[in-house]
Structure 1
């Protein structure tokens, strides 16, 4: 599960880069009930926080420079030292998309990075602002997944950078292996995501590996109806995965991928 008592290597934030912040805010408000609140003194169309019942669950902003017009969610991992993590990424064969940069007067520092296969992610070194204020429930981040062309190499990279613990489980029907991930020195109750090898032709138009977020939903099918009814599209599902729950892979109006999940046994 993803929690808000962040430790090194645990998910702590996520934001969406999109060509139209106001359109994206309207879509996610309709699907998850998120409220949009401009960050600091930024007006409409600038970096905007998403809140659910007053608690921060993520953010949205204009596409970062160099994104090539591709809308996507970026997942952030907690670090006590962004500079040291950037160095570890470089030593492990990854790339630095943007060097550590301060946010606000004392909120914290972030860096945008990529693993050797090209999957993009970021790190957050908090000062005043720890990160997500609500997780692991309807309308908030509860899981994350990496689809990659080389699972073994990707796993070696993230172990080198974050020291993640792992456990492999077989996919149904001999479909390969799904690797569960958790922060270093934490038990499996802190599992925060999964990693899976995927053929290049199933990775979208450019065939680049990527992370995507999984958001909780009280009713997966109802959430899918809200997605498609508000300009989004459905890539897979809804379907029931034994031991997991009912899920669907969706895209927002600009094409950013996310998953909605009603966990098995959820009331």
Structure 2
């Protein structure tokens, strides 16, 4: 499970780069019941890697911050969710990424007193980020309806991806075979924590199946919802599409893989009741 305890190697923040910020705010407000709070000039997090001002803000659920939203400004980039993992030292993490064959997308930078961040690309093409907490340790609500409950990587080489993230973030894994010959799914747990704190999964897939990202690996978030079918109906009613589901997954719950109107993917999950 994901918690708000910023243990190194755990997901602590996520934000969406969208070509139309008001439209994205309206979509996720309708689907997940989020409230959008635009950031005022001078707030931390309002500038991009080059220091330019950018449109953006925070999503809240029941008054608690659950995600960020910003204007997609990178030429040729697709709209997507970026997942940040808590680290003790962003600069050391950056060196570990480079030593393990990854690339630095955004060099380490301070966001006022909030913390220090950097963004990376793993050797296979999956993009992720690291956050060194300052006064802000990350999102305020997780593992509850309308919030992040899991993270997932679709990659073309699961074994290589697992080695990389172990070297960089210290993860360990437990593998499970998917029913019907669906392949192997690797469950991710941060170093030093028990399986109860597993936070995500890594799934090997063929490049031709990764159509959203032109055959390259990508991370996406899983959001907890009270009623997956009702949430999927809201996705469709607000211009989104559904790649898979809703389907029941034994031991997991009812889930659907969705895409918002700007082509950013995410998963909706109603957890199976004990």
Q: Assess same fold via TM > 0.5.
A: yes
Partners of 1:217 and 1:180 in 2: how far apart?
Answer: 21
Contact 1:2 1:136 in 2 (8 A): yes
Aligned counterpart, 2:3:
3
Aligned counterpart, 2:131:
124
Aligned counterpart, 2:57:
48
| Residue 264 (structure 2) pairs with residue 243 (structure 1) | no
Aligned counterpart, 2:193:
186
Report the Cα offset of residue 116 of structure 1.
0.4
Return the match for 2:229 from 218, 221, 231. 221
Contact 1:19 1:69 in 2 (8 A): no
Which ranges in structure 1 are unaligned for 5 or more consecutive residues?
Answer: none
Report the Cα offset of residue 257 of structure 1.
0.1
Partners of 1:126 and 1:194 in 2: how far apart?
Answer: 24
Which ranges in structure 2 are unaligned for 5 or more consecutive residues?
Answer: 47-53
Partners of 2:164 and 2:233 in 1: how far apart?
Answer: 38
Runs of at least 4 residues of structure 1 off by over 3 A? none
Return the match for 2:72 from 37, 48, 63. 63
Aligned counterpart, 1:35:
35
What's the secondary structure of 2:211's corresponding residue? coil
Contact 2:33 2:61 in 1 (8 A): yes
Aligned counterpart, 2:264:
256
Return the match for 1:175 from 182, 189, 209. 182
Report the Cα offset of residue 165 of structure 1.
1.6
What's the secondary structure of 1:186's corresponding residue? coil
Aligned counterpart, 2:49:
none
Return the match for 2:170 from 145, 163, 166. 163
| Residue 219 (structure 2) pairs with residue 211 (structure 1) | yes
Partners of 1:99 and 1:58 in 2: how far apart?
Answer: 22
Partners of 2:211 and 2:66 in 1: how far apart?
Answer: 27
What's the secondary structure of 1:240's corresponding residue? strand
Partners of 1:133 and 1:40 in 2: how far apart?
Answer: 20
Q: How does 1:126-141 map to 2 (within 5 A)?
A: 126-141=133-148
Aligned counterpart, 1:143:
150
Partners of 1:40 and 1:187 in 2: how far apart?
Answer: 40
Aligned counterpart, 1:113:
120
Report the Cα offset of residue 108 of structure 1.
0.7
| Residue 79 (structure 2) pairs with residue 74 (structure 1) | no
What's the secondary structure of 1:222's corresponding residue? helix
What's the secondary structure of 1:106's corresponding residue? coil
Report the Cα offset of residue 65 of structure 1.
2.5
Q: Deviations over 1:124-176 (max 9, x none)?
A: 11101110100001100000110000000000000000111210011111222
What's the secondary structure of 1:221's corresponding residue? helix
Partners of 1:36 and 1:197 in 2: how far apart?
Answer: 35
Report the Cα offset of residue 40 of structure 1.
4.0
